[in-house]
C-alpha cells in the first residue's frame, strides 16, 4: 500500500514537473517571440528612418549648381575658355540666385563634352541647348524656349537678289565669325561645298562685305541688325532669302541631380522675362560683350 502511494505520488510529481517544464518552455518561446518582434520592429523603424532621410536628401533644394553650355552660340551662349557666358547663363543664374542657389559658371569646351557631363550629372544645367527625343531621356527641358537661334545672309543692297538656297552660295565668296556654329547640317555643307572665310573678330565680316572683298556675310540674325547700326552701315546691306538654320534653344537640367531645383519658378520667370522684353535687352547687352571679347582675342 505504501509503495503504491509512493509510486502514485512520484508519478504526480513527474507530471507536475513536466507541466512546469512545458509552461517554462511556452513562456520562453513567448518571450523569445516578443523580443524577436521588438527587434524586427526596431529594424523596420531604422530602415524607414533611413529611407525617409535618404528621400529627403534626394529632394532637398540644391545649394550650389554648375552651369556650362555651348561655346559658340553668341550672344545667347558662348565660352571664354574659363566660363560659359551669354544672355542665357545670365538669365538662368539671376533666377536661381534669387531662390538662394549659388550658380557656378564653368567652361567645358566642345558641346559633346558638355552634353556628356550634363547627362551624367557632373554639371546641373545647360542654359541654352537643342531639344531632342534622345536627350529627353537624361535631360529635363524647361518650357518656354529661352531663345530661337536664327541666321541672316547679308549682301550689299541691290546685289545678288537671286540667292534663295544653299546651292546658290556655291559660286560666291562668303564670310562669318570664327567659331560660330551655323548648325550641324550647314557647317557640313559649307565645309564640302562653299568658300567661307572665318574671321577672328566679329566686326570684320561686315567691313569686308562693305568694301567688296566678299559677296555675303553670315551672322546670327540679331547680330546682323545690330552690327549694321553699330558700324553705321544701315541702308547699305539687305538680307538674302537663304534659310541657313533656325532652331529653338531650351534650358536643360540633368536628370541625375541628387538635389532639387525650383523648375516651376524657373519656367514662370523665363516666361515673364521673354514677354516683358527683359530677355531681348539681355541678348542685346551680351552682343556688345561678345564683340568686345572677340576683339580682345588673339588669332590662333
pLDDT of 150-170, one tens digit each? 888 999 988 887 899 999 999
In whole angstroms, give the CA distance from residue 50 to residue 44: 10
Task: Return d(Cα 153, Cα 141) in angstroms, integer.
Answer: 30
Share of residues in the chain with pLDDT > 90 (%): 52
For residues 91-118, average pLDDT: 95
Stretch 105-119: mean pLDDT: 93
Q: What is the pLDDT of residue 266?
A: 97
Q: What sign results for the dihedral spanned by CA atoms 104, 109, 111, 116? A: negative
Please check the confidence at residue 118 and state whether its pLDDT lies above 60. yes
Bridge partners, residue 220, by sequence: 151
pLDDT of residue 293: 76
Model pLDDT for residues 123-153, shown as the tens digit of each residue:
999 999 999 899 999 999 999 999 988 888 9
In order of their start, the domains of the chain are 149-239 (3.40.190.10)
Q: In this predicted model, what pLDDT tens digit does every residue of 185-233 receive, in sequence order?
A: 999 999 999 999 998 877 789 899 999 999 999 988 875 566 666 666 7
C-alpha cell at 131: 531639344
Quick: pLDDT tens for 39-85.
Answer: 444 554 555 454 444 444 457 999 999 999 998 888 899 899 999 99
pTM passes above 0.85: no
Closest C-alpha among 81, 70, 93, 261 to residue 182: 70
Q: What is the band of 12 on the pLDDT scale with cuts at 50, 70, 90?
A: low
pLDDT of 236: 86
Distance CA 42, CA 87 (A): 54
- What sign results for the dihedral spanned by CA atoms 23, 29, 32, 38? negative
CB 82 within 8 Å of CB 68:
no
Q: Is residue 256 pLDDT above 70, yes or no? A: yes
Amino acid at each position: 500500500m505504501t509503495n503504491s502511494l509512493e509510486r502514485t505520488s512520484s508519478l504526480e510529481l513527474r507530471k507536475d514537473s513536466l507541466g512546469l517544464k512545458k509552461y517554462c518552455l511556452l513562456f520562453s518561446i513567448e518571450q523569445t517571440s516578443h523580443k524577436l518582434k521588438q527587434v524586427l520592429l526596431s529594424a523596420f523603424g531604422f530602415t524607414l528612418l533611413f529611407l525617409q532621410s535618404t528621400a529627403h536628401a534626394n529632394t532637398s533644394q540644391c545649394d550650389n549648381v554648375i552651369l556650362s553650355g555651348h561655346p559658340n552660340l553668341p550672344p545667347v551662349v558662348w565660352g571664354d575658355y574659363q566660363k560659359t557666358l551669354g544672355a542665357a547663363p545670365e538669365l538662368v543664374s539671376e533666377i536661381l540666385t534669387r531662390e538662394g542657389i549659388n550658380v557656378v559658371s564653368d567652361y567645358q569646351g566642345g558641346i559633346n563634352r558638355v552634353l556628356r557631363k550634363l547627362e551624367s550629372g557632373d554639371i546641373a544645367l545647360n542654359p541654352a541647348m537643342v531639344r531632342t527625343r534622345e536627350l529627353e531621356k537624361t535631360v529635363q527641358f524647361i518650357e518656354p524656349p529661352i531663345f530661337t537661334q536664327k541666321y541672316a545672309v547679308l549682301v550689299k543692297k541691290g546685289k545678288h537678289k537671286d540667292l534663295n538656297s544653299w546651292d546658290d552660295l556655291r559660286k560666291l565668296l562668303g564670310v562669318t565669325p570664327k567659331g560660330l556654329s551655323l548648325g550641324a547640317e550647314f557647317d557640313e555643307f559649307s565645309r564640302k561645298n562653299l568658300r567661307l572665310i572665318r574671321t577672328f573678330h566679329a566686326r570684320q565680316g561686315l567691313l569686308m562685305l562693305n568694301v567688296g572683298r566678299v559677296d555675303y556675310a553670315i551672322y546670327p540674325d540679331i547680330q546682323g541688325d545690330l552690327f549694321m547700326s553699330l558700324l553705321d552701315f544701315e541702308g547699305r546691306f539687305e538680307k538674302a532669302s537663304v534659310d541657313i538654320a533656325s532652331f529653338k534653344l531650351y534650358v536643360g537640367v540633368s536628370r541625375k541631380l541628387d538635389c532639387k531645383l525650383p523648375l516651376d519658378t524657373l519656367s514662370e520667370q523665363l516666361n515673364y522675362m521673354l514677354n516683358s522684353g527683359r530677355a531681348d535687352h539681355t541678348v542685346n547687352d551680351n552682343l556688345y560683350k561678345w564683340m568686345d571679347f572677340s576683339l580682345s582675342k588673339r588669332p590662333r
